[in-house]
């Protein structure tokens, strides 16, 4: 089954304060039913009013971590999509708050593949698959020893390898 077939008709919420980002995500996921929000209030209202197969959240500009908490509380798998908050600390916080994945905006062109991973796992975390796909980017961006410098992330990755 290809990515478009996996995602066809899935309800997706994308939240980013930049309209061009929400428009781009909507275009990339044109096989889905995409609702867009460009501010915290609109996103919160949509999260409280609808059911989503996947929620895609920016961190900065829309209070993404608070929206992540609400998404998790409502039982929606949430993927963090960020550029400026692409840090080991934001990754750790996303994991701890219940995100199922964490993507740099520079990988947005492959968003459909990452979202298909989430759908195929029935909304369960896809961290191991993410690290396999873009671990090299994290190493380049954060430094080769980024996990060793963060005890939580080092232990988290070790637990993934044991599964």
Distance CA 145, CA 16 (A): 30
pLDDT digit string (tens) for 104-142? 999 999 999 999 999 999 988 899 888 888 889 988 888
Residue 119 backbone zone (phi > 0: left; psi -120 to 50: alpha; other: beta): alpha
- 162: tokens are 């044991």
> Tell me, what's the pLDDT at 101?
95
CB 130 within 8 A of CB 44: no
Sorted by where each starts, the structural domains of the chain and their CATH numbers stand as 3-125 (3.40.50.2300)
- pTM recorded for the entire structure: 0.94
End-to-end CA distance of the chain: 25
Q: What is the pLDDT of residue 161?
A: 79
133 phi and psi angles, rounded to 5 deg: -75, -45
Query: What is the reported pLDDT for 46?
Result: 98
Angstrom distance (rounded) from CA 93 to CA 110: 23
Angle at 106 between CA 100 and CA 111, to 5 degrees: 45
Cα 64 to Cα 94: distance, rounded to the nearest angstrom: 10
Residue with tokens 């999509």: 81
**Residue 5's pLDDT is what?**
95
| DSSP tag of 110 | G
- Segments of the chain scoring below 50 in pLDDT: none
């Amino acid at each position: 089954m290809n990515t478009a077939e996996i995602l066809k008709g899935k309800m997706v919420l994308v939240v980013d304060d930049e309209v061009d980002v929400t428009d781009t995500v909507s275009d990339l996921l044109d096989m889905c039913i995409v609702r867009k929000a460009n501010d915290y209030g609109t996103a919160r209202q949509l999260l409280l009013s609808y059911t989503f197969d996947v929620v895609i959240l920016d961190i900065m500009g829309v209070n993404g971590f608070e929206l992540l908490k609400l998404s998790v509380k409502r039982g929606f798998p949430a993927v963090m999509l960020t550029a400026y908050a692409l840090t080991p600390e934001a990754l750790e916080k996303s994991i701890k708050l219940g995100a199922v994945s964490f993507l740099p905006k520079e990988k947005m062109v492959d968003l459909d593949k990452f979202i298909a991973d989430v759908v195929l796992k029935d909304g369960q975390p896809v961290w191991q698959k993410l690290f396999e796909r873009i671990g090299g980017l994290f190493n380049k961006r954060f430094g080769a020893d980024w996990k060793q410098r963060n005890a939580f992330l080092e232990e988290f990755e070790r637990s993934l390898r044991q599964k």
